[in-house]
Amino acid sequence: VAEEVARQLTGRHYISDWTRTHGNLFQAIRMEKTMIGLLLMFIVAVAAFNIVSTLVMVVTDKTADIAILRTMGATPGRVMRIFMVQGAVIGITGTLVGTALGILGAYNISGFIAWLEAFMGHQFLSADVYFISYLPSQLQWQDVWIISGAGLAMSLLATIYPAWRASRVDPAEALRYE
């Protein structure tokens, strides 16, 4: 826009946009957005590891049941699919609930902070100290889709190891002490 304005104006005019005058601020905001995205990915990765640990415990707990299924004719592939479906249901449910709560939080954060300040009797964002006295929030749907997609992908990938482990249960060994 600055270049277009400079072309339209004639004479001795100097045109400068805010990215030149406040470029450091723009870079800091970009860095913060990148870091927040990275932190969200780490939170999703921790949730995916929880899916792995939960499914590994289920496999350990249900070893005898898996062995009975195998003796009744279930193939290792079918056992693997059972546990992958279970993990997928957990991952899809968690992703949908997390996305819905995140969107709800993004739309209502300013009101929530105002309520919290009134409830506690303390102002967190004082206009005397900060440039703004409220917490702004702008929902970026592209970011929502990226984080949700990454969460769904990580949760589906997290089901592979426990499902593979369940498919490798030896029925004779599992039922030996039952």
User: Would 69 be classed as within a structural domain?
Assistant: yes
User: Would 12 be classed as within a structural domain?
Assistant: no
pLDDT above 70 for 132? no
Domain that holds residue 87: 37-174
User: Would 3 be classed as within a structural domain?
Assistant: no
Contact 37, 143 (CB under 8 A): yes
User: Would 100 be classed as within a structural domain?
Assistant: yes
User: Would 21 be classed as within a structural domain?
Assistant: no
User: Would 139 be classed as within a structural domain?
Assistant: yes
Q: Is 14 helix (H, G, I), strand (E, B) or coil?
A: coil
User: Would 30 be classed as within a structural domain?
Assistant: no
The total of structural domains in the chain comes to 1
Q: For the segment 20-42, what is each residue's pLDDT rounded down to a tens digit?
A: 777 788 888 889 888 988 898 89
Q: For the segment 145-173, what is each residue's pLDDT rounded down to a tens digit?
A: 988 998 899 889 989 999 999 998 888 88
pLDDT classification of 104: cutoffs 50, 70, 90: very high
pLDDT above 90 for 177? no
Task: Give the chain's count of helices (H) and strands (E).
Answer: 8, 0
User: Would 129 be classed as within a structural domain?
Assistant: yes
Rounded Cα–Cα distance for residues 147 and 169 (Å)? 35
Which positions ≥6 away from 72 have C-beta within 8 Å? none
What DSSP letter does each residue of 120-175 carry, written as one string? HT--SS-TTTSS-SS------HHHHHHHHHHHHHHHHHHTHHHHHHHHT--HHHHT
Residue 75: per-residue pLDDT: 92
Tokens of 86: 């279970």
